[in-house]
Amino acid sequence: MLLRGLLANSQGQTPLQGTNLGGTAAPDFALIDQNGRQVSLASLRGHPVVLSFMDTHCPGDCAPATKQRTVMQALGSVAQDVHWVAVSINPAGDTPAAAQNFVRQYQLVGMRYLLGNETQLAHVWRAYAVAVDSPGSTATAGGASGAQLGGLYVIDDEGRERVYLDSNFAPSMLEGDLRALL
């Protein structure tokens, strides 16, 4: 289980909630989104990034998607100043159409759902310590055994990893972190 910690922002004023990632450069990647556009992490600099790992075939009411929608709604118009990025963990099942439908179904306005084949995605999974036993199966994230898929990385506007929020995060934690970084 990941421990929650506090991390001061670059000015040392506002604490961020989650596991401190030390502000190291986030590993870059380039994948295609649900609309056929290439997205690299480097191209998203200038705004905070919420990076999650999802499956469009998430059972029931998909908690990771629901939590992110809650935060988007709480942020209001400020949510458009955040880059919302999901990386597929199911290359066989996550098609452009499935990703478009998922984003629409969960009202994840502005989310870029990144797709690729298993080799392309595995590069990103490894870089972010996401263990996918077999695509489409249960995954763990954040490099901690027992963590449930649904955790996410908060990356600042300079492309530095700030915090990891495990799957049990409260939406208010992510909202507070994003408000501090904006």
Domains in the chain, start-ordered, CATH in brackets? 20-181 (3.40.30.10)
Number of other residues whose CB lies within 10 A of the CB of residue 146: 8
- Please give the DSSP secondary-structure letter assigned to residue 28: P
Q: CA–CA separation, 39 vs 31, rounded Å?
A: 6
What is the enclosing helix (H) or strand (E) of 8? strand 5-8
pLDDT string in tens for the chain (182-residue length): 233 333 333 444 458 999 999 999 999 999 999 999 999 999 999 999 999 999 999 888 899 999 999 999 999 999 999 999 999 999 999 999 999 999 999 999 999 999 999 999 999 999 999 988 655 444 445 443 333 467 999 999 999 999 999 999 999 999 999 999 99
